[in-house]
Chain A
């Protein structure tokens, strides 16, 4: 009898310490989470919700006593629909993404395959190709802006002339509405491609060598190996690279602001440049918030497409 009670006692005691430990652990967990969680709440979640709310108001950055803030429904969105600058901005972002995503992604894959070969000094070349990534975009924009000098003395113009034996007239680059955005595309690709090269390199090194060996046994040449082994095996990497580049394309701001500020003739206007101008320069927080909400919805749609394609892949395999 007494034996049983002591047994019960120890079990109870054990349960108590276990419960005490659990409680302690839960308290500790919340203490560990609190700093990051608080900051995320105040500086990410709250402003995110506010963006939706402000987009329905005529909120200004500095309150105007003559113009009290009030809810104006979907007025900002309706005005955006008929704002030709906004149309231009969205179109430019899609144009930028449409060119940069395929070019940069395939360029990155090519670089990764090259530096993945058994070559001497490949680490040195890897380092060189990656070095623009650690250069601040403002610096990249300024240096390329100088190289894109619009006169016949500009470096890029001279280079084009000597390659084509003088058949290309000096181009105006950043001053030409048709060439300003392509010039920005070139420097953006130059800066960003090294990052994706590394991601592809990791993907390439994950491909089991047996796949290539069995392809070779089946008599596949290197092109067939590329299309039947490399490309399918890199499917998820490619989706990731393409999607993250697309999202970056919609965030396009720094290089444009440094070089053209949206001009000439709105040819480099982007969603972010418009958002900055409306929200910061013109103090129209409501209108800028509506732009931010649409920008977010585009990013969300792109991310969901990624999730969808990747899930399908998993279901298949």
Chain B
């Protein structure tokens, strides 16, 4: 009995010690956490403001709340009225479909043809290989922005204005992604191919059965980077879509935003619906996002 008591008190002293230690450690680390939280507020507040405002049914409340922290508090008349407005006032479903379709096609097509080209450059022997590698590396420097005007003239002559393919085909092949694939493929052991050749596998089988399955990380990286870029693309669709039929989300929201009087509740719900899909994908595949961004910095 006595023994048990001492054990208990010892335990509590021990516990107190641990507690004080933890508390001191907490204080010591507190400045870091304070900084982390402040920065988190800085990076979160615009988006929180957008989401919260989008579910406030009253336009006057949104305007009134913007001058204080109430802008971040979901209270008052909440609901999905703004979201319904967006669907009523415009063809939101169409814009969403357009953006998804264009992004998916560009990313999928890009994964196939960029990796195939990179495979040829990295794993096959043929005349002109070195020259092509050099060409790809120098093409990385050319920004799309410097070719948009002649490209616009070209697609105008092709009669491609107002279509899906005008927003997809020119952006499928991308030198930087070819380079990322190339770098990855060249690092894979050569004996894999040789073993496959001995087994009588053709070139296409080597690509599809050996190289592609081993290269999931680089495929994920390219898919993610390309999706972020395509989803937000603005300048090019602004020039090549005149009708609503093929208009993607960024251009649609800009045109909605530039109409007066501005209905902020509707604008914010449009913006939220445009942001949520990519945000959800990002939260699901965070690790891959981080890896893909880090891989884009390797070169140089």
Q: Which residues of A contact B (CB under 8 A)?
A: 21-22, 24-26, 28-30, 32-33, 35-37, 39-40, 43-48, 50-51, 54, 59, 61-62, 111, 114-115, 117, 119, 121-123, 125-140, 142-144, 146-147, 149, 152-155, 158, 190, 194-195, 198-199, 201-203, 236-237, 239-241, 247, 251, 253-254, 257-258, 272, 275-276, 279-280, 285, 288-289, 292-293, 295-296, 299-300, 303, 306, 310
Q: Are A51 and B275 in contact (CB under 8 A)?
A: no
Interface size on B, residues (CB 8 A): 92
Check B178 for interface membership: any CB of A closer than 8 A: yes
**A67 CA to B170 CA in the complex, in Å?**
30
Q: Are A29 and B124 in contact (CB under 8 A)?
A: yes
Q: Are A139 and B271 in contact (CB under 8 A)?
A: yes
The 8 Å CB contact of B39, one of A25, A111, A289, is: A111
Contacts of B290 in A (CB 8 A): 126, 130, 198, 201
Contacts of A152 in B (CB 8 A): 67
Distance to closest chain A CB from B213 (angstroms) = 17
The 8 Å CB contact of A43, one of B40, B169, B202, B257, is: B169
- Which residue of chain B is the closest to A300 with respect to CB atoms? B141
Contacts of A133 in B (CB 8 A): 228, 293
Q: Are A137 and B234 in contact (CB under 8 A)?
A: yes
- Which residue of chain A is the closest to B46 with respect to CB atoms? A143
Q: Are B46 and A292 in contact (CB under 8 A)?
A: no
**A35 CA to B169 CA in the complex, in Å?**
11
Check B76 for interface membership: any CB of A closer than 8 A: no
Stretch of B8-16, B88-96, B248-256 at the chain-chain interface: B248-256
Contacts of B139 in A (CB 8 A): 40, 44-45
- Known contacts A48-B142, A146-B264; is-contact A137 B113 (Cβ 8 Å): no
Q: Are B46 and A134 in contact (CB under 8 A)?
A: no
**Pairs A–B under 8 Å by Cβ, sample size 27:** A29-B124, A29-B129, A32-B124, A35-B173, A39-B170, A39-B173, A43-B169, A43-B171, A51-B150, A114-B35, A130-B289, A134-B278, A135-B278, A136-B232, A136-B274, A194-B43, A199-B293, A202-B294, A202-B298, A240-B297, A251-B145, A254-B232, A257-B234, A285-B152, A292-B145, A293-B146, A306-B300
Contacts of A43 in B (CB 8 A): 147, 151, 169-171, 173
Q: Which residues of B contact A (CB under 8 A)?
A: 29, 32-33, 35-36, 39-40, 42-44, 46-47, 49-50, 63, 66-68, 71, 113-114, 116-117, 119-121, 124-127, 129, 132, 139, 141-143, 145-154, 156, 169-173, 175, 178, 197, 202-204, 207, 228, 231-232, 234-235, 238-239, 249-250, 253-254, 257, 264, 267-268, 271, 274-275, 278-279, 281-283, 286, 289-290, 293-294, 296-300
Contacts of B147 in A (CB 8 A): 43-44, 47-48, 51, 292
The 8 Å CB contact of A33, one of B121, B141, B153, B172, is: B121
Which of B32, B132, B151, B299 neighbours the largest number of chain A CB atoms within 10 Å of its CB?
Answer: B151
Contacts of A147 in B (CB 8 A): 46, 49, 66
Distance to closest chain B CB from A260 (angstroms) = 12
**A29 CA to B126 CA in the complex, in Å?**
7
Q: Are B145 and A54 in contact (CB under 8 A)?
A: no
Q: Are B145 and A134 in contact (CB under 8 A)?
A: no
Which of A202, A288, A310 neighbours the largest number of chain B CB atoms within 10 Å of its CB?
Answer: A202
Q: Are A50 and B150 in contact (CB under 8 A)?
A: yes
Contacts of B156 in A (CB 8 A): 61-62
Distance to closest chain B CB from A86 (angstroms) = 15
